[in-house]
C-alpha cells in the first residue's frame, strides 16, 4: 500500500517538474531569444528610418543639381554684368583718366576733380569725389548724364549748377563712387567706358546772373540821345562807365548787344534777356 | 449490473475526460513553440532589415559624394547671390538717389523769360534761384514743377533794383512721392 502511494507521488512530482521545465523554457526563450530580437528589430527600423530620411534629403538635394547649376550660370552672368560696370580699387587711375576723357569728349572744361582715399564700411567700399565742370548747359548736362550712365554705382550726394557770364554753367557735383568690395575684386573685369558724343541739342534756362545785369546799370548806363542818320537808321548816344559813345544796332554795350533803337528807347540783349532803356534813364524789360 | 467498488480517486477516467496535466503541458508546449517560432521570424526580419540598412548605407555613401558636390555648388550659388545683392544695393536707384534727370526736369520746366541762376539738388532738398520779367511766370513755373513731381514753394520774390520789370525769386522744393 505504501509502495503504491510512493509511486503515485513520484509520478505527480515528475509531472510538475515537466510542466515547470516547459514553462521555464518558454520564459527563457522569451527573455533570452525573443525579446532581444524584438528590440533589435525596433532599433533597426529606427536607424533605417533615420537613414532613409537622410538619403531622401540627399536625393532631393542631388536632384536639384541641374537647377542649381543653371542658377549658378545665370547668376554668374549677372555678376559679370555688374562687374563690367562697377570698377575695383585697382581701376581708380583709369577712372580718373576716363573722367578727364569725358570732359574733352563733351567739350566741357574740367575745373577740378577731387577725391578722398577709398573708404570702407562692412562690404561697402567707395571713393568720395567731387567734380566741377563748366560749359554750355547742354554740354555739362550731357557730360554728367554720361558719367552717371557709365558708372551705375555712382551715387550723387549733391548737384549744383550756377550760371555764369557768357552763357556758361558751372556744374559741381559731390558723389560717392562705389566699387567692388576688395575681397571680391577680379582684375580686368571692369570695362572702361567709351564716351559717345550725342548730337542732340539740350536747351537750358540758365541766364546770365542778375548781378551782372545790375552791375551794368550800376555803371551809370544812360541813353542820352537818339538821332536818325541817312538811310533811316538810328544812332544812340550812350553814357556808360563815364564815357559817351554813339552806338548802332549790333554794337556791344557792356555784356549786352544793342538789338533795337527806336525814337526814344534802346533795346539791349544780355544773353537772351531783353532790356529796354528809355531816354534819360533805364529800366529792365522782357 | 456491475458495481465499481474502487474509491473515486482510483477509478479510471471516462473516455471523453481530459487530464488537466495534459492541458497544462500542451499549452506550455504551444507557448514555447510560438515564442521560438516568432523569435525565428524576428531573426529573419533582422537579417532583412540589416540587409536593407546596409544597402541604404551603401547608397547613402554613394549619394554623399554627389551631395558634397551639390553642397559646394549651393555655396557657390549663395556667394553669387550675396554678390548680386551687394551690387544691386550699391547701384544707383533713380527713385532714391539724386539724378541728373531731376536737374533736367527742373530746367525744362522753366517757362520762357524765366532765367535760372542757381540750382542745387542735395540730400536735404532742392534750391532754385533765378529771375524773370513777369512775376506771374513764377507761378507757372511752380505749377510745372508740381506736375513733374516736385513739391515746390516760392521762398522769396523781390523786384530787382534796376527797374520794375525784373523779379528775382528763390524756390525750395522736394522730390515728391
How does DSSP assign A130-159, residue by residue? Answer: EEEEEE-HHHHHHHHHHHHHH-TTEEEEEE
> Quick check: is B35 in a domain?
yes
Query: Are A156 and B99 an interchain contact pair (Cβ–Cβ within 8 Å)?
Result: yes
Residue B32 covered by a domain? yes
Residue of A nearest to B125 (CA): A158
Partner-chain contact B42 A41, CB within 8 Å: yes
Query: Looking at the predicted structure, is the pLDDT value of residue B119 above 70?
Result: yes
User: What would the mean pLDDT of A261-266 be, rounded to a whole number?
Assistant: 85
Identify whether B64 is part of a domain.
yes
One domain for residues B104 and B52: no
User: What would the pLDDT profile of A99-153 be if each residue is shown by its tens digit?
Assistant: 999 998 898 999 999 999 999 998 899 999 999 999 999 999 999 999 999 999 9
* B86 lies in the same domain as B105: no
Q: Are residues B27 and B62 in the same domain?
A: yes
Residue B171 sits at φ, ψ, to 5 deg, of -130, 140
The answer to whether A31 contacts chain B (CB < 8 Å) is no
According to DSSP, residue A107 is labeled: T
The pLDDT confidence band at residue A285, using thresholds 50, 70 and 90, is very low
Which residue is closest to B111 within chain A, CA to CA? A205
Q: Which residues of A touch B103 (CB under 8 A)?
A: 141, 144, 159, 161
pLDDT at position A49 over 50: yes
Do residue B108 and residue B76 come from a single domain? no
Q: Residue B10: inside a domain, yes or no?
A: no
Report the distance separating Cα B37 and Cα B42, nearest Å: 9
CB within 8 Å: B46 and A41: yes
Q: What is the pTM of this model?
A: 0.75
A131 with A139: CB under 8 angstroms?
no
Q: How far apart are CA A14 and CA A7, in angstroms?
A: 11
Q: Do B79 and B104 lie in a common domain?
A: no
In A, which residues are within 8 Å of B77 by CB distance?
A: 68, 71-72, 75
The answer to whether residues B114 and B71 belong to one domain is no
C-alpha to C-alpha distances, B175 to B94, B97, B103, B141, nearest whole angstrom: 12, 10, 11, 15
Residue B5 included in any domain: no
Q: Please indicate, yes or no, whether residues B148 and B130 belong to a single structural domain of this protein.
A: yes
Residue B78 within a domain: yes
Its domain, for residue B158, covers 100-175
Q: Are A178 and A86 in contact (CB under 8 A)?
A: yes
Of A159, A203, A219, which to mutate for an interface test with B (greatest number of B Cβ within 10 Å)? A159
State the total domains in chain B: 2
Q: Are B40 and B104 contained in the same domain?
A: no
Is residue B166 located within the same domain as residue B127? yes
Nearest chain B Cα distance for residue A236, angstroms: 20
CA atoms of B70 and A201, how far apart (whole Å): 56
Within 8 A of A48 by CB-CB distance, chain B residues are 49, 52-53, 56
Q: What is the DSSP letter of B14?
A: P
| Distance in angstroms (rounded) separating the CA atoms of residues A124 and A118 | 10
pLDDT surpasses 90 at B144: yes
Q: What secondary structure letter does DSSP report for A86?
A: S
Decide which of B60, B91, B122 is a domain's last residue: B91
A282 or A52, which is more confident:
A52
Report the distance separating Cα A114 and Cα A110, nearest Å.
11
B36: closest CA of chain A, how far (Å)? 6
pLDDT tens per residue, range B25-68: 999 999 999 999 999 999 999 999 999 999 999 999 999 999 99
How far apart CA B132 and CA B168 sit, in angstroms, is 7
* pLDDT computed for residue B56 by the predictor: 93
Mean pLDDT across chain B:
88
Residues of B within 8 A of A40 (CB-CB) are 42, 46
Residues 6+ apart with CB under 8 A from B133: A273, A284, A285, A286, B113, B165, B166, B167
Cα separation, A75 vs A71, whole angstroms: 6
B120 and B53 in one domain? no
Question: Is the confidence at residue B97, as pLDDT, over 80?
Answer: no
CATH number (domain holding residue B112):
3.30.1360.100
CB-based contact A75 B168, cutoff 8 Å: no
Domain boundary among B91, B112, B134: B91
**Which of A100, A88, A93 has its CA nearest to residue A195?**
A100
DSSP A89: G
Nearest-neighbour CA in chain A from B54: distance (Å): 9
Domain termination site, one of B62, B91, B120: B91
The yes-or-no verdict on residue A283 having pLDDT over 60 is no
Cβ-Cβ contacts under 8 Å for A151 (sequence gap 6 or more) = A85, A87, A95, A177, A193
The cell for A203 is 536747351
- Distance, CA of A103 to CA of A113 (rounded, Å): 11
**What is the nearest CA distance from A230 to chain B, expressed in angstroms?**
34
DSSP A29: I
Q: Which of B42, B60, B168 sits opposite A58 (nearest CB)?
A: B60
Same domain, residue pair B132 and B68: no
ipTM of the complex: 0.74
Subunit contact A25:B32, Cβ cutoff 8 A: yes
B74 lies in some domain: yes
> pLDDT tens, B61-95?
999 999 999 999 999 999 999 999 999 988 876 55
Looking at the fold, whether B167 and B142 belong to one and the same domain comes out as yes
Pairing of strands A243-247, A252-253: unpaired
CB contact under 8 A, B162 and A282: yes
Amino acid at each position: 500500500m505504501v509502495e503504491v502511494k510512493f509511486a503515485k507521488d513520484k509520478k505527480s512530482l515528475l509531472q510538475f517538474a515537466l510542466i515547470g521545465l516547459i514553462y521555464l523554457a518558454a520564459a527563457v526563450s522569451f527573455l533570452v531569444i525573443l525579446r532581444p530580437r524584438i528590440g533589435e528589430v525596433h532599433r533597426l527600423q529606427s536607424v533605417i528610418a533615420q537613414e532613409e530620411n537622410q538619403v531622401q534629403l540627399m536625393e532631393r538635394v542631388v536632384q536639384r543639381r541641374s537647377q542649381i547649376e543653371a542658377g549658378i550660370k545665370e547668376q554668374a552672368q549677372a555678376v559679370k554684368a555688374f562687374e563690367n560696370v562697377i570698377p575695383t580699387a585697382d581701376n581708380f587711375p583709369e577712372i580718373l583718366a576716363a573722367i578727364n576723357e569725358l570732359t574733352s569728349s563733351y567739350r566741357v572744361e574740367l575745373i577740378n576733380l577731387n577725391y578722398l582715399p577709398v573708404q570702407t564700411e562692412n562690404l561697402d567700399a567707395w571713393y568720395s569725389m567731387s567734380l566741377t565742370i563748366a560749359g554750355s548747359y547742354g554740354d555739362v548736362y550731357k557730360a554728367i548724364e554720361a558719367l552717371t550712365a557709365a558708372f551705375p554705382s555712382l551715387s550723387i550726394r549733391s548737384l549744383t549748377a550756377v550760371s555764369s557770364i557768357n552763357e556758361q554753367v558751372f556744374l559741381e557735383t559731390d558723389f560717392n563712387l562705389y566699387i567692388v568690395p576688395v575681397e571680391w575684386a577680379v582684375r580686368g573685369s571692369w570695362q572702361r567706358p567709351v564716351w559717345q558724343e550725342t548730337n542732340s541739342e539740350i536747351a537750358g534756362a540758365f541766364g546770365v546772373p542778375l548781378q551782372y545785369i545790375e552791375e551794368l546799370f550800376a555803371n551809370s548806363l544812360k541813353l542820352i540821345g537818339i538821332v536818325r542818320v541817312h538811310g533811316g537808321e538810328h544812332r544812340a548816344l550812350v553814357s556808360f562807365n563815364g564815357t559817351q559813345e554813339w552806338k548802332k544796332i549790333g554794337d556791344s554795350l557792356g555784356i549786352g548787344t544793342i538789338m533795337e533803337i527806336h525814337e526814344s528807347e534802346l533795346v539791349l540783349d544780355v544773353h537772351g534777356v531783353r532790356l529796354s532803356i528809355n531816354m534819360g534813364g533805364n529800366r529792365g524789360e522782357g | 449490473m456491475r458495481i465499481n467498488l474502487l474509491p473515486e480517486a482510483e477509478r479510471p477516467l471516462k473516455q471523453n475526460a481530459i487530464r488537466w496535466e495534459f492541458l497544462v503541458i500542451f499549452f506550455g508546449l504551444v507557448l514555447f513553440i510560438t515564442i521560438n517560432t516568432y523569435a525565428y521570424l524576428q531573426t529573419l526580419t533582422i537579417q532583412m532589415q540589416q540587409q536593407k540598412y546596409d544597402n541604404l548605407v551603401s547608397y547613402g555613401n554613394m549619394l554623399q559624394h554627389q551631395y558634397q558636390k551639390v553642397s559646394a555648388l549651393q555655396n557657390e550659388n549663395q556667394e553669387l547671390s550675396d554678390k548680386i545683392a551687394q551690387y544691386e544695393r550699391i547701384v544707383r536707384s533713380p527713385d532714391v538717389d539724386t539724378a541728373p534727370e531731376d536737374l533736367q526736369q527742373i530746367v525744362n520746366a522753366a517757362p520762357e523769360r524765366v532765367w535760372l541762376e542757381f540750382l542745387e539738388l542735395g540730400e536735404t532738398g532742392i534750391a532754385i534761384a533765378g529771375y524773370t520779367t513777369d512775376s506771374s511766370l513764377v507761378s507757372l513755373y511752380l505749377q510745372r514743377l508740381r506736375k513733374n513731381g516736385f513739391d515746390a514753394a516760392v521762398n522769396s520774390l523781390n523786384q530787382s533794383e534796376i527797374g520794375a520789370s525784373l523779379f528775382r525769386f528763390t524756390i525750395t522744393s522736394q522730390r515728391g512721392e
